[in-house]
Amino acid sequence: QKEVEQDPGPLSVPEGAIVSLNCTYSNSAFQYFMWYRQYSRKGPELLMYTYSSGNKEDGRFTAQVDKSSKYISLFIRDSQPSDSATYLCAMSLDSSYKLIFGSGTRLLVRP
Amino acid sequence: SAVISQKPSRDICQRGTSLTIQCQVDSQVTMMFWYRQQPGQSLTLIATANQGSEATYESGFVIDKFPISRPNLTFSTLTVSNMSPEDSSIYLCSVEGQPKETQYFGPGTRLLVL
C-alpha cells in the first residue's frame, strides 16, 4: 500500500464548476500537508500549506485536512481553463524536509 | 519564493553514458533536494544536499549511481551515471521554502535514455 493515494484522473469539468481533489494517507503521524500545481513541462508550484487539521482558504482555493479520517482535500471554486494542470498532494512528518507525494490528479477545465 | 533554474532542460543520451544536471538558485539556501518524477508516478526523493557535507541518499538510491555536488549555497549538481533506459525520467531540484516545511521546485530536466 502506498503511503499517499491520489486518484490520477483525468478529471474533466466545465468552466465555473467547483472542483474537489482528494488524497488519503496511511501514516497518522503526518503533520504538514501541501498542495502543489504542476503545469505541463513545468516544475511543481506550491499552492496551499496546512499544519495539522482544519481548513485554509486562499482566494478560490480551500484546503481541508481531516486527520481522523486521514483525508485531505483541495477545493477550487469558479474553476478556470487556466486551472488545467496536475495537482499533487504532499505531506511530511515533521521539519525533516522529506516530502511524500501523491501521484497527482490531472484536471481539465473545459471553456 | 526562490527562483530556480536547471540545465539542461532536456536531453537524449545513449545508454552507458553519464549526464550532469545543474541547479542554480537566486538566493542562498541551506537545503537542496533532488527528485525523480517518472511518468504517472509520484515525485520520489533521491537525496538531500546540505552545503559542506555529504549528500544523504534515500533508500534505493546510491552515490555511485547519482553522485551529487554542493559547492556553495546557491548551486548543486546531480550526475546520472552509466545510464540505462530505466533512468528516463524528469529530474527536479528543489530548495527549502517558506514555511520551511515546504519546498520550491525548479522546472525539471527531461531525460531520455536510448
C-alpha dist (Å) from residue B91 to A105, B7, B48, B97: 20, 11, 14, 19
How far apart are alpha carbons A66 and B103 in whole angstroms?
22
Q: Which triple of cell numbers denotes residue B39?
A: 511518468
Output the pLDDT for position A53. 84
Q: Which residues of B touch A41 (CB under 8 A)?
A: 107-108, 110
Output the pLDDT for position B40. 78
Q: How far is A1 from chain B (nearest CA, A)?
A: 14
Quote the DSSP letter at residue B26: S
Q: Which triple of cell numbers denotes residue B47?
A: 537525496
User: Three-state SS for B59?
Assistant: coil
Cell 482555493 sits at which residue? A61
B103/A88 CB distance under 8 A: no
Q: What is the pLDDT of residues A25-79, one digit of tens each?
A: 999 999 999 999 999 999 999 999 998 888 999 999 999 999 999 999 999 999 9
Q: What percent of chain A has pLDDT over 70?
A: 98
Interface list for A 81-100 with B (CB within 8 A): 88, 90, 92, 95, 97-100
* Residue A2 confidence class, pLDDT cut points 50, 70, 90: confident
Output the pLDDT for position A44. 96
A98/B45 CB distance under 8 A: yes
Average pLDDT for B89-108: 93
Tell me whether the omega of the peptide bond preceding residue A111 falls within 30 degrees of 0, making it cis: no
Q: How far is B53 from chain A (nearest CA, A)?
A: 16
Q: Which triple of cell numbers denotes residue B30?
A: 541551506
**pLDDT at residue B90 greater than cutoff 90:** yes
Output the pLDDT for position A95. 65
How far apart are alpha carbons B37 and B45 in whole angstroms?
9
Q: What percent of chain B has pLDDT over 70?
A: 100
Contact of B101 with chain A, judged by CB distance below 8 Å, is answered with yes
How far apart are alpha carbons A109 and A81 in whole angstroms?
5
**pLDDT at residue A97 greater than cutoff 80:** no
How far apart are alpha carbons A54 and A67 in whole angstroms?
9
The DSSP bridge pattern shows strands B109-113 and B10-13 to be parallel
